[in-house]
Structure 1
């Protein structure tokens, strides 16, 4: 179409007049939110339903001793490679509620109400998120503990020091129980961290729970479809699990690795919280090789939420590929 002089003059007049028109500002439909929705995610393993319930995220500066046998610069480079801040570490926590159809089973309990208060809600979210997911703590039949670190056992108690799951049987690894309840081992503990763990575990299991626990053995089913697997090293009785139902199967690795972009990618790295670092490394390599060979899905307590993925060999280490979010249970 030919542009006439009249058209051009009309267009120029419109441009000049445009600033005189009233401006219409964008208006937000609602106030900005100040928190996330309650964090839980469900999936099925055969006929069993698993609900991953977030306990929150702990972020802290990367120190020189977070990885004992690696340079801080190498750890920072691994963080940066994973698109994380190179000067900070963020550790997530993901306890489980397993509905077998006949039993409601909690697997590890998170950092607890004390940590919720001291962290201003960053961690210790398991209790509130579990209720938001539709679970009544009084309806829990069994609580299975993988090992006796605070981020796994502190949620056994409420803020007033009473049992958080009053009607549940509490099951603990027999090797773990024997170690932490041994007065001789407690007398040999060195360093504030180990001494503090003994004090905390005695407060929970001896004082609050009055030793009303059921020790279990490796290689045996501790709940319907939940087989206990020995993965010692992180602690003397550290336990992982194979959850099976029908043709479905998932390996629940507990703390076999911490964040995967550090300790699965670099299985030879020794975290400062591994009690026997050499044994923990051997367990990590052996177990991840098995998971790769058997093509098992993996559920990681410290993996990015919701912590479910697949594992493949990647050079000298392993790569965890997160399972895609599924809107259908």
Structure 2
């Protein structure tokens, strides 16, 4: 399912594509937060805390030359509610062979496991795969699986296996580098050690792809300083979250969030000491 659509300048367009959704225990995300204040915030936002099911939005960028996916979803091996990207591509008559570039925000399962299909073959055989050097080095390091914690050891094993599959088609980039014309990497370390956001500019239009640096439309905006249980370095992630919200609200720059609702495209509005997510209508 196509989630949302955004024109950039006269020659580029971004469409968010559904990879399904995740089904997570709420405590996994919100367990580190002050519970009394959290309950008030979530009640105010009419959030059902008996379940937590954030949608997964893969951003598709197309201009006159390139067809670019930002992340590739979870593939067939992570969670039955996710891994729907291939079906979504079929609804817009886009073949995996048409994709020229894949750009990763980070290497968690719902973002990178989709590089392999049901037969463990590369799903995007003609694409150059781009990933931040710091993120690659972290997941490639054999000690990561031993230090990441038992609950995330499978993440490390799965990331390494998929990195081995794309090793001959991968290009690395660093903070501030232009990954492709008009697409610049912005360090947003914390959710993972090498997580990247991407600032896309075309003419006078701009958008920030934030990946999982801003992970939900309520707590992350109203209390960006609170620690999330899904962040590998909660303190660093909170600092990044506040910085991104400040920048995008001041610059009136649209954002695309992998787990934000209704396709994930919207803008950030300052609201006193907090922020609000205003989704595209």
Q: TM-score, normalised by structure 2?
A: 0.93
CA distance in 2, matches of 1:187, 1:161: 25
**Equivalent residue number for residue 77 of structure 1:** 40
**Equivalent residue number for residue 154 of structure 1:** 113
CA distance in 2, matches of 1:74, 1:93: 27
* RMSD of aligned residue pairs (Cα, Å): 1.7
CA distance in 2, matches of 1:268, 1:218: 23
**Equivalent residue number for residue 66 of structure 1:** 29
Higher relative contact order, structure no. (Cα contacts within 8 Å, ≥ 6 residues apart): 2
**Equivalent residue number for residue 203 of structure 1:** 161
Cα deviation code 1:265-292 (max 9, x no counterpart): 2101211121111111111111211111
CA distance in 2, matches of 1:318, 1:141: 36
CA distance in 2, matches of 1:89, 1:245: 35
CA distance in 2, matches of 1:92, 1:153: 16
**Equivalent residue number for residue 263 of structure 2:** 306
Match of 2:151 among 183, 186, 192: 192
3-state secondary structure, aligned to 1:66: helix
Cα deviation code 1:155-191 (max 9, x no counterpart): 1110111100011111111110111111244443332
1:68 CA drift (Å): 4.1
3-state secondary structure, aligned to 1:162: coil
3-state secondary structure, aligned to 2:54: strand
**Contact 1:40–1:129 (8 Å) recurs in 2:** no
3-state secondary structure, aligned to 1:80: helix
Cα deviation code 1:282-313 (max 9, x no counterpart): 11111211111111111111110211111112
Written as runs of structure 1 = structure 2, the 5 A alignment for 1:1-329 is: 38-46=1-9, 47-63=11-27, 65-115=28-78, 118-119=79-80, 122-193=81-152, 195-206=153-164, 208-210=165-167, 212-324=169-281
Q: TM-score, normalised by structure 1?
A: 0.80
Q: Which runs of 5+ in 1 are unaligned?
A: 1-37, 325-329
